[in-house]
Amino acid sequence: MNHAIHYSIIASDLAAHLFEITLTVAEPDPAGQVLCLPAWIPGSYMIREFARNIVQIRADCNGKKVALKKSDKHSWHAAPVTGALVVRYQIYAWDLSVRAAHLDQTHGFFNGSSVFLAARGHEAAAHVVDIVKPAEPACKAWRVATALPELKAKRYGFGTYIAASYDELIDHPVEYGAFALATFTAHGVPHDIVITGQVPNLDMARLQADLKKVCEAQIALFEPRSKRAPMERYLFMTLAVGDGYGGLEHRASTALICARADLPVKGRSEQSDGYRTFLGLCSHEYFHTWNVKRIKPAAFAPYALAAETHTPLLWLFEGFTSYYDDLMLVRSGVIDEPAYFKLLGKTINNVMRGSGRSKQSVAESSFDAWTKYYRQDENAPNAIVSYYTKGSLVALTLDLTIRAETAGKKSLDDVMRALWQRFGRDFYKANGGRGVTEQEVDALFDEVSGLNLRRLLDRAVRGTTDLPLKEVLAPFGVAFAPASVDTAAGLGVRTTRDGNDCKLANVYEKGVAHKAGLSAGDVLIALDGLRIQAANLNDLLHRYRAGDTVTLHAFRRDELMTFTARLALDDAPQVTLTTLEKPPALRKARNAWLGK
DSSP string for residues in 331-344:
HTTSS-HHHHHHHH
Q: Are the beta carbons of 83 and 62 closer than 8 angstroms?
A: yes
CA distance 249 to 487: 42
Residue among 76 and 320 whose Cβ is closer to Zn ion: 320
Q: Are strands 18-25 and 5-13 parallel, antiparallel or unpaired?
A: antiparallel
CA distance 408 to 553: 57
Residue nearest to Zn ion (CB): 318
Q: How far is the CB of 335 from Zn ion (least distance, A)?
A: 19
239-257 core/surface letters (b: 16 or more CB in 10 A; e: else): bbeeebebbbbbbbbbbbb
Residue among 345 and 391 whose Cβ is closer to Zn ion: 391
Q: How far is the CB of 377 from Zn ion (least distance, A)?
A: 22
**Coil vs helix vs strand at 506:** strand
CA distance 206 to 265: 9
Mention every residue, 6+ apart, whose C-beta is less than 8 A from residue 539: none
Q: How far is the CB of 281 from Zn ion (least distance, A)?
A: 9
Q: How far is the CB of 150 from Zn ion (least distance, A)?
A: 28
Site stretch for Zn ion (CB under 5 A), options 11-19, 111-119, 230-238, 310-318: 310-318
Residue among 23 and 281 whose Cβ is closer to Zn ion: 281
Residue among 318 and 368 whose Cβ is closer to Zn ion: 318
Residues forming a β-bridge with 190: 185
Q: How far is the CB of 490 from Zn ion (least distance, A)?
A: 32
Q: How far is the CB of 248 from Zn ion (least distance, A)?
A: 8
Q: How far is the CB of 24 from Zn ion (least distance, A)?
A: 35
Q: How far is the CB of 116 from Zn ion (least distance, A)?
A: 23
Residue among 10 and 385 whose Cβ is closer to Zn ion: 385
Q: How far is the CB of 497 from Zn ion (least distance, A)?
A: 29
Residue among 257 and 524 whose Cβ is closer to Zn ion: 257
The secondary structure of residue 480, as a DSSP letter, is: E
The secondary structure of residue 421, as a DSSP letter, is: I
The secondary structure of residue 568, as a DSSP letter, is: B
Residue among 192 and 285 whose Cβ is closer to Zn ion: 285
Site stretch for Zn ion (CB under 5 A), options 177-185, 312-320, 334-342, 360-368: 312-320
Q: How far is the CB of 194 from Zn ion (least distance, A)?
A: 20
Backbone torsion region of residue 247, taken as left when φ is above 0, otherwise alpha when ψ lies between -120 and 50, otherwise beta: beta
Query: What sign does the CA torsion over 496, 498, 502, 506 have?
Result: negative
CA distance 502 to 525: 8
Site stretch for Zn ion (CB under 5 A), options 227-235, 258-266, 314-322, 538-546: 314-322
CA distances from 450 to 405, 411, 415, 446 (A): 10, 11, 11, 5
Site stretch for Zn ion (CB under 5 A), options 187-195, 203-211, 236-244, 318-326: 318-326
Site stretch for Zn ion (CB under 5 A), options 80-88, 313-321, 430-438, 525-533: 313-321
Residue among 162 and 412 whose Cβ is closer to Zn ion: 412
248-287 footprint of Zn ion as x/- string (CB under 5 A): ----------------------------------------
Give backbone dihedrals phi and psi of 308, rounded to 5 degrees, phi first: -55, 140
Give backbone dihedrals phi and psi of 505, rounded to 5 degrees, phi first: -85, -45
**Coil vs helix vs strand at 6:** strand
Residue among 369 and 532 whose Cβ is closer to Zn ion: 369
Residue among 217 and 314 whose Cβ is closer to Zn ion: 314
Q: Are the beta carbons of 552 and 523 closer than 8 angstroms?
A: no
Would you tell me which residues interact with Zn ion (CB under 5 A)? 318
